[in-house]
Chains A and B, each alone.
Chain A
């Protein structure tokens, strides 16, 4: 497997982790913010860290990869847009 392929696998794992953290946090908020306050705080720290990791990996991947065709250009742009939307940068 290429280095780029390995990065994509890591990005997939971090994306999965990020979604799981967000789901867990949402469940706790629904269950009651006050009684789950400390767990929600921990999950928020974890969410931010997972987001940072995700961005770092995407930047590393983008640096490696020049889009080969229009389709790849669209996929890479949509990832960048999604990152901006989620992390605001």
Chain B
């Protein structure tokens, strides 16, 4: 249906009062993003295996819940237990494996209880899924739970028919449509193409594995790189709302893997 410019301006004015940013919890990043992610946005976080995609997704999931937003986490790679152990580890500054195995000193046990209490206080704000691989199932849960923020880790593991290019194109479009129709922000992790490896975070084009279409559809595109164990670089490659081609530096705590801004 055709709309006049005045009608569109009225829509913008009306939407202004409903505009709500979903903070990532990282001050510098939120400043550049004018407050964080916005509802209806599809955000892609690309990185190679071991670059810290899942850790970063987990940390944002935690930060967003802390601000009182309803979040869902679809982990298509690691178990819910691993996701939560990592969150606990980060909060308590203890290696997640030690938490799962119960190899804790008295002081670590105390820190674990404190971290567990903090996560328990977020119980009503987050839901985790680790056995959901079909896009239809993910869509059904998002519609049922009506979250503010969704994390999907990672897109290449979503099950769908067709070759990789067609599959990922269809999934990206569906996720974008879901973010809009369900009025939530969706953060989806993605692997990177091998050719991207040559250029790194300073590359001019984002090359998510299997499809350039994900980058095209996304409202925001990040590349995460972990050059050394204790340091992460996050490149904002695409931002439909403003500043892009910006990099952020993060430190990673050695024991629990907590990510913090440098």
Leading 5 A-B pairs by shortest Cβ distance: A6-B68, A49-B117, A49-B114, A46-B117, A45-B113
- Chain A interface category by residue count: 10 to 19
Residues of chain A contacted by B20 (CB below 8 angstroms): 1
- Is the beta-carbon distance between A13 and B121 smaller than 8 angstroms? yes
Q: For residue A14, which residue of chain B has the nearest CB?
A: B121
- Is the beta-carbon distance between A53 and B116 smaller than 8 angstroms? no
User: At the interface, yes or no: A23 with Cβ under 8 Å from chain B?
Assistant: no
> Can you list 15 contacts pairing A with B, beta carbon distance less than 8 Å?
A3-B67, A5-B68, A6-B67, A7-B68, A10-B121, A14-B121, A17-B117, A17-B120, A42-B113, A45-B113, A45-B114, A46-B114, A46-B120, A49-B117, A49-B118
> With contacts A13-B123, A53-B118 known, what are 6 further pairs, Cβ within 8 A?
A10-B66, A10-B121, A13-B122, A17-B117, A45-B117, A49-B114
Residues of chain B contacted by A22 (CB below 8 angstroms): none
User: At the interface, yes or no: A83 with Cβ under 8 Å from chain B?
Assistant: no
Interface size on B, residues (CB 8 A): 17
Interface secondary structure of B, over-half rule: helix
User: At the interface, yes or no: B134 with Cβ under 8 Å from chain A?
Assistant: no
B 104-144 binary contact with A (CB < 8 Å = 1; else 0): 00000010011011101111110000000000000000000
Q: Count CB-based A-B contacts (< 8 Å).
A: 43
Shortest CB-to-CB span from A36 to chain B, Å, is 15
User: Which of B67, B114, B121 has its CB near the most chain A CB atoms (within 10 A)?
Assistant: B121
Once the chains are docked, how many angstroms separate the CA of A13 from the CA of B120? 9
User: At the interface, yes or no: A81 with Cβ under 8 Å from chain B?
Assistant: no
Once the chains are docked, how many angstroms separate the CA of A42 from the CA of B68? 26
Shortest CB-to-CB span from B253 to chain A, Å, is 19
Shortest CB-to-CB span from B123 to chain A, Å, is 7
Once the chains are docked, how many angstroms separate the CA of A50 from the CA of B118? 7
User: At the interface, yes or no: A9 with Cβ under 8 Å from chain B?
Assistant: yes
User: At the interface, yes or no: B73 with Cβ under 8 Å from chain A?
Assistant: no
- Is the beta-carbon distance between A10 and B113 smaller than 8 angstroms? no
